[in-house]
A and B are shown apart, each in its own frame.
Chain A
Amino acid sequence: MIVNEQVAVDHGLKKDEYAKICELLKRTPNITELGIFSAMWNEHCSYKSSRLHLKKLPTKGKKVIQGPGENAGVIDIEDNDAIVFKIESHNHPSFIEPYQGAATGVGGIMRDVFTMGARPIANLNSIHFGSPQHKKTKNLLRGVVHGIGGYGNCMGVPTIAGQTSFDSSYNGNILVNAMTLGLVKKDKIFYSKAAGLNKPVIYVGSKTGRDGIHGASMASASFDEKIEEKKPTVQVGDPFTEKLLLEACLELMAGDSIIAIQDMGAAGLTSSSIEMASKGNLGIEINLNKVPCREAKMTPYEIMLSESQERMLIVLEKGKEEHAKKIFDKWNLDFAVIGKTTNSKKIELYFDEEKVADIPVNTLVENSPMYDRKWKKAKLPKKNKIKKEDIKHLKIVDVLKKILANPNICSKEWIWQQYDHTVMGDTIQKPGGDAGVVRVHGTDKAVAASVDSSAVYCWAHPLTGGKQVVCESFRNLISVGAKPIAITNCLNFGSPENEENMGEFVECVQGIGEASEYLKFPVVSGNVSFYNQTKDEGIKPTPAIGGVGLIKNYKNMITMEFKEVDNLVLVIGKTEGHIDQSLFARNILDEKNGPPPEVNLFNEKNNGETLLKLIDNNLIKSAHDISLGGIITAVAKMCIKGKKGISIKKPKYLINEIEYLFAEDQGRYIIEINKKDFKKVADILDKNAVHFDELGTIIENELHINDKTKVTIDELLTSNKSWLTNYMSK
């Protein structure tokens, strides 16, 4: 095939990018080389629109062992233990083929984690669908949930937490973000940097097939009406092979044979070989005839661009080939020496004794395009004034029931019951709480993780929204008694070529950066997914934040269900009555404009750290952060989970009951304490200048508000639990 500008454009490259390739090579690339460039230079692999801005994120900290740039981030959890974690998107394939798209997303992120030598110990996910009324939503939801479960369950890794939302902006582009945490010894972490000359380059895992060719390029473009034709770009997963690959890799890693290891994810053999060479400042020579292929007569182009799953590339110590092969034979996996490291600093490919590609590594990596795209700054919307007559007729109980049954608030049990969340025998906080918690196997330590996003806030004001998501992650970890350590982010946006979308990206990233800097909650890994767009319509900006924290003794973990009648319930943090962009405003008043709640980083940090002090002093019986739906929603969920009631008295300082109960001001928590501890708790809160309200007392069976409004917890439970199950069974 003759390569020219049109062929390059068909590969998703821009005309000037093609000109640059010819200039760098000082010749016209052949088709295999063009394929390699298109795979390395697409948005998904090169981060060409985002790199400039991602540099601004804080990535360092006392507990950070490895920040962005490796397969995943690594943090120190003491005693020579470390946690490897990362979140990644698989949005485009999941819309085209929900089961396989979601399954391979989960498979891919687990591979990123065990590539570094860590055994995966927990999975999480953040999934976003179109309006429940949209004709595709139900099938997409079912397919994605089955896919996530199908892969994670088979791997034997518990799925411990997640987030699901519905919004019409995802009608044409759903989001599937998967996150994995792995446990590794600090001195047994593996990296992808190749080192040494003439070291054997080893291919292990599944055979290479024709699936997923151009997957990464497909994920770097907007959708149009021909999207169904893209099905062949979706990879097909085999969790069984991945389970074998996991065990085989960990077995090999127990020794000292591996110099570098990299999984074949997006852009397959291309990106894995180039990344290892680039990091080691070396060249790599590969004989493509040696690559185990699933199908006959695969061309070099197809072999290099296939995104077949469950494959790894390893640079081995010389002389260890037999030892390594034995392990992979035991696990019935392919093992092939396909090449070696060289000092050419080039990627050189041979096929049928002919050289089929010869590209300097730096042209693919350092010289890849980087764009300072135009972006538009967002204005802070004007506040709305709630009119008295709009809320006068509202009955609090009716509103509460409606909110509890809202698709974005309701119980997601239908989803997480399909995920094995207890395998590995260390899950001590299951899905449905503020964060999932697993014990560090064989120790008293536990790791908490949560995943959050607030697309509505980010859409209303990206800078504030970006900050808010980080804060929410911080709060969720604190609510279970964990000290927040670091985050991973999955940045889901529309087209970067649209100034408004790009502006949303830039400002969300700025917000994330500011909050994580202030809270000492650095970003250690992440992924950017642009082009979540169908024709001209993009999704709401949806940065998802995965937070990880440590609980030193798992016995001190906090859960959200109310524990005991007569205990006192307090609200930590001040309620200003911010209603704009709240679930109440959007769904009850049908008011979609206005600014999101303000984020005060000082309060956020101070309130959170003070709550941790209370927890350390064993003063907290239950805790829950206040987010969507405000105080009353948070309290109702604590009642439902604890099968207890509460009698609430609204403090006098806010005039309006509705504002007090449904406002979504930030930096707040509900806590339950024993009456006799009140003075101690109040002292600590006062000493740390933390505002608190006495909200009420725990009672049996009913929720009372100012002794007037009464509703049974069973009624609230029914509202909360039935929506999703009914929706999926219709």
Chain B
Amino acid sequence: MKSSVITFPGSNCDRDMDVALRKFGFKNKMVWHADAELPKSDLVVLPGGFSYGDYLRCGSMASKSRIMQSVINFANSGGMVMGICNGFQILVETGLVPGVLLRNKYLEFICKNVFVKINDKKNKYFKNVDNEVLEFHIAHNEGNYFCTNDQLKEIEDNNQIAINYCDENGKIEDKFNPNGSIKNIAGIFNKEKNVLGMMPHPERMIHTSLSGEDGSLFFKNLINNLK
């Protein structure tokens, strides 16, 4: 399986994502934001970080990068595109997934482990994951997902919510919501479910001696689903 990770000026999880993808069998290429063409890929990842220093609005400038037109075309033709953290912020700025990401409710950066419940498994990202609940890791300042009531209705009608913040037993309640996101949303799909944006960093959870190993589950499953 071939993957591409886009490096924007200010990306800082691009290497971590490269390490994770290779570990689970992807042949990964790093792609520079100023390039015009994507290499042939089965998966394109927009990594975490602070593209363009988060100036103007997180993800807004990166969404206008030269490479993004190819990424958008790739997504619109059904290609798998995953945005993690800042990558999620870039995705909402392109409009590939609905909604916006506001500053965290308590106005502070949060770095910690959280639990997320998989809401939908009829997609190539989460199909065949045995667990209902995964332990993931977040590290962000602007992860507070927000959208209009109409958008929310559409998202729910299409089953576009990918994962919700919850407790270890999968209970979705306000007290397990780390950043104030509407409906505890931690990740969301486009309508066709080939584009996934999520705040948690599975690439940081690929070894027992790190924050945990549920990221391994995610990647192993992902490559199998793409085969």
**Which A residues lie at the B interface, using CB under 8 A?**
146, 149-150, 153-156, 238-241, 243-244, 331-332, 416-428, 430, 439, 554-555, 557
Contact B16 A331 (CB under 8 A): no
- Which of chain B's residues 3-52 have a Cβ closer than 8 Å to chain A? 9-10, 12-13, 15-16, 19-20, 48-50, 52
Whether A425 pairs with B111 at a CB distance below 8 angstroms is: no
Question: What is the minimal beta-carbon distance from B8 to any residue of chain A, in angstroms?
Answer: 11
The contact of B54 among A149, A154, A418, by CB within 8 Å, is: A154
Across the interface, which residues of A come within 8 angstroms of B109, CB to CB? 149-150, 153, 417-420
- Chain A's closest residue to B137 (CB) is A422
Residues of A within 8 A of B108 (CB): 146, 417-418
Q: Answer yes or no: B117 CB below 8 A from chain A CBs.
A: no
Asked whether, in the complex, the Cβ of B10 is within 8 Å of the Cβ of A422, the reply is: no
Q: Taking the complex as formed, is B209 at the interface, i.e. its CB lies under 8 A from any CB of chain A?
A: yes
**Which B residues touch A420, using CB under 8 A?**
109, 111, 139
Residue of B with least CB distance to A430: B211
Contact: A243 with B10, CB < 8 Å? yes
Q: Which residues of A contact B206 (CB under 8 A)?
A: 425
A153 close to B16 (CB less than 8 A): no
- Provide a sorted-by-A list of 12 A–B residue pairs whose CB atoms are within 8 angstroms: A153-B139, A156-B50, A239-B50, A240-B52, A243-B10, A243-B50, A417-B109, A418-B108, A423-B16, A424-B16, A426-B210, A439-B209
List B residues 61-113 near A (Cβ within 8 Å).
108-112
Q: Is the Cβ of A332 less than 8 Å from the Cβ of B53? A: no
Interface residues of B (CB under 8 A from A): 9-10, 12-13, 15-16, 19-20, 48-50, 52-55, 108-112, 137, 139, 141, 201, 203-204, 206, 209-211
List chain A residues, Cβ under 8 A from B204. 422-423, 425
In the complex, A240→B55 CA distance in Å? 9
Residues of B within 8 A of A146 (CB): 108
Tell me the complex Cα distance, A419–B112, Å. 10
Identify A156's interface contact among B12, B52, B211, CB under 8 A.
B12
**Max chain B CB contacts within 10 Å: which of A420, A430, A554?**
A420
In the assembled complex, the Cα of A153 lies from the Cα of B108 at a distance in Å of 12
Please state if A421 and B53 are interface contacts (CB–CB under 8 Å). Answer: no
CA distance A374 to B137 in the complex (A): 54
> By CB atoms of chain A within 10 A, which of B12, B16, B141 has the most?
B12
Q: Which of A150, A154, A427 has the most CB of B within 10 A?
A: A154
Q: Which residue of B lies closest to A154 (CB)?
A: B50
Report whether A428 and B50 are in contact in the complex, using a CB–CB cutoff of 8 Å: no
The answer to whether B209 touches A554 (Cβ under 8 A) is yes
A433–B210 CA distance with the chains assembled, in angstroms: 15
A316 shortest CB reach to chain B, Å: 23
**Provided the pairs A156-B12, A422-B139 are in contact, do residues A417 and B50 lie with their beta carbons within 8 angstroms?**
no
The distance in angstroms between the C-alpha atoms of A149 and B54, with both chains bound, is 14
User: What residues on A are CB-neighbors of B13 within 8 Å?
Assistant: 156, 423
Considering the complex, give the chain A residue whose CB is closest to the CB of B20: A425
Query: Quick check: A555 and B9 within 8 Å, CB to CB?
Result: no
Please give 20 more A-B residue pairs, beta carbons under 8 A apart, in addition to A422-B139, A423-B16.
Answer: A153-B109, A156-B13, A156-B50, A240-B54, A241-B53, A243-B12, A331-B9, A417-B110, A417-B111, A419-B111, A420-B109, A422-B137, A422-B204, A423-B12, A423-B139, A423-B204, A425-B20, A425-B204, A428-B209, A439-B209
- A417 and B112 form a contact (CB under 8 A): yes
Residues of A within 8 A of B50 (CB): 153-154, 156, 239-240, 243
Residues of A within 8 A of B48 (CB): 423
Q: Give, as a whole number of angstroms, the nearest-CB distance from A98 to chain B.
A: 15
A residues less than 8 Å from B139 (CB atoms): 153, 420, 422-423
Taking a contact as CB atoms closer than 8 A, the residue among B9, B52, B111 that contacts A422 in the complex is B111
- For B52, the chain A residues whose CB sits under 8 A away are 240
Q: Which residues of B contact A238 (CB under 8 A)?
A: 53
| Measured CA separation A146–B137 after assembly (Å) | 20
CB <8 Å contact, B53 and A154: yes
Known A-B contacts A243-B12, A331-B9; the reply to A422 vs B110 at CB < 8 A is no
C-alpha spacing A241/B165, complex, angstroms: 34
Contact of A155 among B12, B137, B141 (CB under 8 A): B12
Provide the residues of chain A in CB contact with B110, threshold 8 Å. 417-418
Give the residue name and chain of the A residue nearest to B113 (CB): A422
Q: Which residues of B contact A419 (CB under 8 A)?
A: 109, 111
A156 to B50, CA, bound (A): 9
A418 touches B111 (CB 8 A): yes
Which of A149, A244, A418 contacts B10 (CB under 8 A)? A244
Alpha-carbon distance A508/B85, docked complex (angstroms): 46
Please name the residue on chain A nearest to B139 by beta carbon.
A420
Q: Given A417-B110, A420-B109, A555-B209, A239–B53 Cβ distance below 8 Å?
A: yes
On chain B, the residues within 8 Å of A425 by CB distance are 15-16, 19-20, 203-204, 206, 210
A418 to B107, CA, bound (A): 10
In angstroms, how far is the closest chain B Cβ from the Cβ of A431? 10
Which residues of the partner chain A approach B49 to less than 8 Å between Cβ atoms? 156
- Residues of chain A lying within 8 A (CB to CB) of residue B12: 154-156, 243, 423
Q: How far is the CB of B106 from chain A (nearest CB, A)?
A: 9
Alpha-carbon distance A156/B140, docked complex (angstroms): 12
In the bound complex, CA of A241 to CA of B20 (Å): 27
Contact partners of B111 in chain A: CB under 8 A: 416-422
Nearest Cβ on chain B to A417's Cβ, whole angstroms = 6
Q: Which residues of A contact B10 (CB under 8 A)?
A: 154, 240, 243-244
B201 / chain A contacts, CB cutoff of 8 Å: 422
Closest 5 CB pairs of A and B: A156-B12, A240-B53, A425-B16, A154-B50, A420-B139
A305 CB → nearest B CB, Å: 26
Chain B residues with Cβ under 8 A from A555's Cβ?
209
Q: Which residue of A lies closest to B7 (CB)?
A: A247
Question: Once the chains are docked, how many angstroms separate the CA of A665 from the CA of B57?
Answer: 53
Q: Interface centre among A241, A423, A428, A430, by most B CB within 10 Å?
A: A423
List chain A residues, Cβ under 8 A from B53. Answer: 154, 238-241, 243
Closest Cβ of chain B: how far from A245's Cβ, in Å? 11
Measured CB to CB, the closest approach of chain A to B26, in angstroms, equals 16
Q: What residues on B are CB-neighbors of A150 within 8 Å?
A: 109
**CB of B203, distance to nearest CB on chain A (Å):** 7
Inter-chain CA distance A639–B204, complex, in Å, is 27
CA distance A241 to B211 in the complex (A): 29
Bound-state CA distance A619–B139 (Å) is 35
- Least Cβ–Cβ distance between B45 and chain A, in angstroms: 14
User: Which one of A153, A244, A425, A426 has the highest number of Cβ atoms from chain B below 10 Å of its Cβ?
Assistant: A425
State A427–B10 Cα separation when bound (angstroms): 21
Q: Do residues B210 and A422 form an inter-chain contact, with CB atoms below 8 A?
A: yes
Q: What's the minimum C-beta distance from B23 to chain A, rounded to whole angstroms?
A: 10
By a CB distance below 8 angstroms, the chain B residues around A331 are 9
Query: Cα distance A685–B181 when bound, in Å?
Result: 54
Give B30 Cβ to nearest chain A Cβ, in Å.
12
How far does the Cβ of B53 sit from chain A's closest Cβ, in whole Å?
3
Q: Output the nearest chain B residue to A241 by Cβ-Cβ distance.
A: B53
Contact status A332-B15, CB under 8 Å: no
Q: Are B9 and A244 in contact (CB under 8 A)?
A: yes
Query: Complex formed: what's the CA distance from A423 to B203 in Å?
Result: 10
Complex: how many Å from CA A400 to CA B92?
Answer: 50
The minimal Cβ–Cβ distance linking B127 to chain A, given in whole angstroms, is 26
Q: How far is the CB of B16 from chain A (nearest CB, A)?
A: 4
Residue of A at shortest CB range from B203?
A425
Docked CA distance A417–B139 (Å) = 9
Whole-angstrom distance between the Cβ of A261 and the nearest chain B Cβ:
21
Cα distance A331–B9 in the bound complex, in angstroms: 7
Bound CA span A240–B86, Å? 14
Q: How far does the Cβ of B60 sit from chain A's closest Cβ, in whole Å?
A: 14
B52 and chain A: residue at smallest CB distance: A240
Q: How far is the CB of A356 from chain B (nearest CB, A)?
A: 35
CA gap between A419 and B206 in the complex, in Å = 21
Bound CA span A416–B112, Å:
10
Chain B min CB distance to A162 (Å): 13
The docked-state distance in angstroms from the alpha carbon of A227 to that of B206 is 49
Contacts of A557 in B (CB 8 A): 209
Within the assembled complex, what's the spacing in Å between the Cα atoms of A428 and B12?
19
Considering the chains assembled together, what is the distance between the CA atoms of A332 and B204 in angstroms? 29
